[in-house]
């Protein structure tokens, strides 16, 4: 079993949240001859994965608290379209501009693009959690993929009205002042927005 990187752990947590989960759990303890736990069996010290999970858990809980009273309405993908997933509609309450071109999905290869989870108090989406599916590179301006420089592309999440962006560090909603927010997300990063 390969040990996930901190960025992969963040990817797992945020995509789980985008799909409507309200909790996560980790494999914490190890046993002789096995790597990948949160603690070292020999001395009980924490591993780098533990340090990442400790920080990530605070982010996860803060964002999950905003989504908990809402219904998970739909989940869409932009870019790679793994089997069983649905492409983000070109017209809808939330969309990405310019649209993300389809990317071939290959078995064993990381997916690229975004996952967009839609949430609301009723069946009308008012909130969107957007996750950068590429856990290796920035999604947005100046992205680098497969060791090739791509033409810089500025992408925006467009909402049906003026948006607010959630700051998980302060647990506050920040007015954006427009119906769009730039998607310049770090590897496996996420942004939670809502319509006002």
Annotate 18-80 with DSSP letters as a single string: HTT-----------TT----SB-TTT-PBPHHHHHHHHHHHHHHHHHHHHTTSEEEEEEEEEB
Query: Integer distance in angstroms from the first to the last C-alpha of the chain?
Result: 45
pLDDT band at 167 (very low <50, low <70, confident <90, very high): very high
Range of lowest pLDDT (74-78, 123-127, 149-153, 172-176) = 149-153
pLDDT in tens, 10-32: 999 999 999 999 888 876 666 67
Inter-CA distances, 148 with 50, 105, 125, Å: 32, 18, 36
- What average pLDDT does the chain have? 87
**Residue 43: other Cβ atoms inside 10 A:** 6
Residue pair 161/106 in contact (Cβ under 8 Å)? The answer is no
- Does 142 have pLDDT greater than 50? no
Q: Looking at residue 139, what is its pLDDT?
A: 65
Tokens 């009980």 map to which residue? 44
| 0.85 exceeded by pTM | yes
**Quick check: bond before 2 cis, omega within 30?**
no
For the chain, percent of residues with pLDDT exceeding 90: 58
Instruction: Give the whole-angstrom CA distance, residue 50 versus residue 116.
Output: 27
Query: Which residues 6+ apart lie within 8 Å of 47 measured at CB?
Result: 37, 38, 39, 40
Q: What element of type H or E holds 14?
A: helix 6-18
Side-chain half-sphere exposure of 164, counting CA atoms within 13 A: 14
Phi-psi region of 113 (alpha: psi -120 to 50; beta: other; left: phi over 0): left
Q: Looking at residue 143, what is its pLDDT?
A: 44
DSSP state of 187: T
């Amino acid at each position: 079993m390969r040990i996930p990187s901190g960025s992969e752990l963040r990817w797992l947590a945020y995509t789980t949240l985008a799909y409507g989960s309200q909790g996560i759990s980790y494999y914490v303890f190890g046993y002789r001859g096995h790597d990948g736990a949160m603690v070292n069996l020999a001395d009980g010290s924490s591993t780098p994965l533990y340090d990442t999970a400790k920080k990530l858990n605070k982010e996860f809980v803060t964002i999950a608290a905003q989504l908990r009273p809402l219904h998970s309405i739909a989940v869409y993908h932009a870019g790679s379209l793994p089997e069983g997933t649905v492409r983000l509609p070109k017209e809808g309450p939330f969309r990405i501009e310019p649209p993300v071109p389809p990317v071939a999905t290959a078995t064993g290869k990381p997916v690229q693009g975004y996952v967009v989870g839609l949430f609301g108090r009723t069946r009308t989406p008012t909130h969107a959690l957007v996750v950068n599916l590429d856990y290796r590179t920035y999604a947005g301006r100046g992205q680098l993929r497969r060791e090739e420089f791509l033409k810089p592309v500025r992408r925006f999440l467009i909402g049906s009205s003026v948006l607010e962006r959630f700051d998980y560090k302060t647990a506050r909603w920040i007015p954006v002042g427009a119906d769009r927010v730039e998607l310049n997300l770090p590897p496996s990063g996420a942004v939670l927005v809502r319509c006002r």
